Amino acid sequence: MNYLIPNFIELDLASALQIVLLGFIGGVLSGFIGSGGAFFMTPGMMNLGIPGVVAVGSNIAHKFGKAMMGSRRHGELGNVDKKLGAYLILASFVGIRFAVWINGLLFKSGGGGSHGEGGGDSASNLYISAVFVCVLSLVAISMLRDALKSREENGGGPSMKIANYLARIHLPPYVSFPVADVRVSLWILMAVGLATGYLAGTIGVGGFIGVPAMIYVFGVPTAVAAGTELYLAMFMGAFGAINYAYQGYVDIRLTLLLYLGSLAGVYVGVYGTKVVREVMIRIVTGSVILLCVVSRGIAVPVYLRQLQWISFDQKWDKYLNQGSKVMLFIAGIAGTLLILHNVIRGYRQRRRIQSQILRVQEAT
């Protein structure tokens, strides 16, 4: 990969279009499952040869703007508990700061090359990939397990063991949140905020901890959890963008290209939720995330080799990188096509019903 200036790749039309496509797929998945789509966009950008820390920084800046637009709508519907958001924001800022510090430190410590080539960022790429694989594999497996259990038992919900355990622990002081209609221990609030901020700052993904934690641990209604998470994402995105931009890791071009795709893709994804059953949404989401995790896992040996922790022929780097990229795009495109298929099928069904109504009118 050629660099325009250190850390920032040269963008030709092909790579620019790939980033727009990444944004579109990320947007569709984001609208469909309610997360930010970073679980797809961050590794996708890394597959294109963008250093991991720049991918995270650019994505978190993109998240800021997108969340700002989305939270306005949720706010109009009364789905944002600003008090809850404020508590989580404070803790998440600490988490983000910590994540930016670690990422920056690892990036500057150098070691190996970026994504198969000589020069700099293998340590941070490896760290980001490791966190990505560990956290998102847990998310994907638990999502798939719960979805398959729901299907078999025809109604089983997600496991409540952790939530029930935390509910039994008495950890004052407690804080009441009137909009969300819950009372939560301050310590648990801080822990969730820290974890959300740390993950958002490390891999750009915060919603997979934040939203389930609000629903299953705090007991917040789903709509309020989603709205509050968007509100939180707006501030986390802003703070993350400031921190990464200060370090010089935000590529504004990537952020703008992601917007071209994502803001349109979100509408398609949201429509998809109307035509697909909840269980299927969870199965598709879990499968796509799992494939993204596998794709990232395939790239890990390259970073290990660059850091000289393992050794194998360098020519294998190209195949591993290509394999990772192909797998990621297969995951994203397959998920998007499945959603588009259901959206188009739903649209055609509507048209068919409307035609039938017109035919009946003409006949009478």
Partner 1 sequence: MQIICLSRGTLSGGKQLAERLANKLGYACLSREDLIEAAIHEGIQVGKLETAMLKPGLFNDRLALEREHYVAFTTSYLCDRAKKESLVYHGRTGHLLLPGVSHVLRVRAVADSDYRVKAAMQQLGVDRAKAQRYVEDVDEDRRRWAHNLYGVSVEDVTQYDLVVNLGQLSIENAAAALTVIAQLPDFQMTPASRKVMDNLQLAANVRLSLCRDERTRRSSFRVRADNEIVTVTYLPREAQAAKAIQDVVASLQGIREVRATMASTNLLWIQEEFKPQSNVFGQVVEIATKWNAAVELIRLNSDGGATVEPAEAESSPEMPPAVRDASAPAYNGGIEDDVDETDMEDDGGLKIALDELARLGRSGGGRRVFGGQEQLLNVIDRTASYSLVVIGDVFLDKGHAAQTRLSRELQGLLCDHIRAPVVTTDELKTQYLFTKRDALRLLGFLSLTFVIYYFVFTHQYSILRFLTGNDWKDRIVAAGAVVVLIPIVAYLYGNVAKAFLKLIKME
- In the complex, the residues that contact partner 1 under the rule CB under 8 A are 4-8, 11, 61-62, 64-66, 68-69, 76-79, 150, 154-155, 157-158, 160, 163, 181, 215-216, 219-223, 238, 241-243, 245-248, 250-253, 255-256, 259-260, 263-264, 267, 271, 274-279, 346, 349-350, 353-354, 357, 361
Q: Which is nearer to partner 1, 200 or 220 (CB)?
A: 220
Q: Distance of CA 111 to CAs 41, 119, 304, Å? A: 24, 7, 10
Q: Which is nearer to partner 1, 13 or 315 (CB)?
A: 13
- In angstroms, give the least distance from the CB of 65 to partner 1: 3
Count of helix runs (H) and strand runs (E) in the chain: 12, 4
Q: Which is nearer to partner 1, 271 or 329 (CB)?
A: 271
- SS3 annotation, 321-357: HHHHHHHHHHHHHHHHHHHHHHHHHHHHHHHHHHHHH
Strand residues in 186-278 grouped as ranges (E)? none
What is the spatial distance between Cα 56 and Cα 175, in angstroms, rounded to a whole number? Answer: 33
Q: Which is nearer to partner 1, 131 or 230 (CB)?
A: 230
For the chain, the C-alpha Rg in angstroms (whole number) is 21
- In angstroms, give the least distance from the CB of 4 to partner 1: 6
DSSP 298-322: HHHHHHHHHTTSS---TTHHHHHHH
Q: Which is nearer to partner 1, 71 or 295 (CB)?
A: 71
What is the spatial distance between Cα 308 and Cα 316, in angstroms, rounded to a whole number? Answer: 15
- In angstroms, give the least distance from the CB of 262 to partner 1: 10
- In angstroms, give the least distance from the CB of 226 to partner 1: 12
Is the Cβ–Cβ distance between 96 and 197 less than 8 Å?
yes
Residue 272 CB partners (closer than 8 Å, separation 6+): 28, 31, 32, 339, 340, 342, 343
- In angstroms, give the least distance from the CB of 301 to partner 1: 30
Q: Which is nearer to partner 1, 79 or 228 (CB)?
A: 79
CA proximity to 78, closest of 228, 183, 189, 210: 228
Q: Which is nearer to partner 1, 262 or 295 (CB)?
A: 262
- In angstroms, give the least distance from the CB of 237 to partner 1: 8
- In angstroms, give the least distance from the CB of 329 to partner 1: 23
Q: Give the position of tokens 């966190």.
A: 131
Tally of residues, the chain: 364
